Amino acid sequence: MMQNLTELAFGASAIVRDLPKQGTAFLRLREMGLLPGTKITFLRAAPLGDPLEIKVRGYNLTLRKSEAEHVMVESAVQPPAV
């Protein structure tokens, strides 16, 4: 199930599925390695919920909540096989 990055639980890992294709802020995110198919981990948020810190490609990246709301992710945890 896809959700935006701000909806992830702290410590949860997810795979980036979609990013906006326009805008300088989103170009910057893509240049820093936040691309579709990339695994990320939601580390923490500031006390008022903005900004957010994620781990991507081995380093910590801080995002504004307004940017993170446009990053669509899918949980990296696979349901157990039945």
Q: Which runs of E-coded beta strand occur in 6-71?
A: 13-18, 39-45, 52-56, 59-63
State the architecture of 2-75 in CATH terms.
Roll (2.30)
- Tens-place pLDDT, residues 34-69: 999 999 999 999 999 899 999 999 999 999 999 899
pTM greater than 0.85: no
**Rounded to an integer, what distance in angstroms lies between the CA atom of residue 37 and that of residue 42?**
16
**Rounded to an integer, what distance in angstroms lies between the CA atom of residue 13 and that of residue 61?**
14
**Rounded to an integer, what distance in angstroms lies between the CA atom of residue 72 and that of residue 18?**
5
- Domain residues of the chain, as ranges? 2-75
- Tens-place pLDDT, residues 3-43: 999 999 999 999 999 988 788 878 888 888 899 999 999 99
